[in-house]
Amino acid sequence: MPSRKVTNTADTPSIFLHDEGVRPRYPLVAGIDEAGRGPLAGPVVAAAVILPSGLVIKRLRDSKKVPENERKDLFWKVVYNATAIGIGIVTADVIDKINILESTKLAMKTAVQDLKMKPDILLIDAVKLSDVSIAQQSIIKGESVSASIAAASVIAKVVRDDIMLDCHDKYPLYNFKRHKGYSTEEHMDCISRYGPCPIHRLSFRKVMDVQLPLIISRGNRRRATTRLPQNNILPKEYDSL
């Protein structure tokens, strides 16, 4: 089915106009976004998405603003219409070693490498990637500015949520299917009661704050050092996520 030309009309979302404005110089535009910077457990997942010129997907927007039932529908619309999609996944143990910001960048680079074609430019949500030989633009709140970034945010979010559903089956005590690893009251309660499991990010202060009293109360310092992160210093802005 041929794509309809994107024109500046009242019913055309501005995020599609942004990407079309980039295409004359950079025909293959890849949007990149992540899901899972803030959670206390599970991986950070990045997606890179190249959309065909002229494509408009109705109601495509930042995945955080999309209800879960609608998000899956948008996910499949992107999958069926995208020119290329790449995925990058970085697990909790790596996050503990290199910190969440570097893990996010690693996931994004992996997503770009996973694309079946090389894009002409990367539109990235709020991050700059080093050691990448492709033109790039870092856009603050990019998922609200660029259609390809919004598409990447939907793909990354759905992929990560599905991973956390699998984690729930493996570690049912933590009820990951409900909170997906975010720091809800229920999740903090579970960590306090059972301690962290293998997919928890021990370098995150909220996990460490709960873990230390548990270690002291059980008098088991050896257990505390089995998965201590090599780098537990996080950028300040992530402390409140």
Burial 133-172 (b: 16+ CB within 10 A, else e): eeebbebeebbbbbbbbbbbbbbbbbbbbebbeebbeebe
pLDDT tens-digit series, residues 7-26: 444 455 788 889 999 999 99
- In tens, the pLDDT along 55-69 reads 999 889 888 889 888
- Higher per-residue confidence, 227 vs 154: 154
What's the pLDDT tens digit per position in 178-234? Answer: 999 999 999 999 999 999 999 999 999 999 888 776 666 665 544 444 454 444 333
Q: How confident is the model at residue 33 (pLDDT cuts 50, 70, 90)?
A: very high
Q: What are the b/e assignments for 177-189, b being 16+ CB within 10 Å?
A: eebbbbbeeebbe
Record the tokens describing residue 111, joined without a space: 């997503």
Domains by residue range for the chain, with CATH: 14-167 (3.30.420.10), 171-238 (no CATH)
Q: What is the rounded distance in angstroms from the CA atom of residue 199 to the CA atom of residue 181?
A: 9
Q: What are phi and psi of 19, to 5 degrees?
A: -65, -40
Query: Mean pLDDT in the chain?
Result: 87
Measured from the Cβ of residue 197, the count of other Cβ atoms closer than 10 Å reads: 16
pLDDT for res 215: 63
Whole-number pLDDT of residue 235: 39
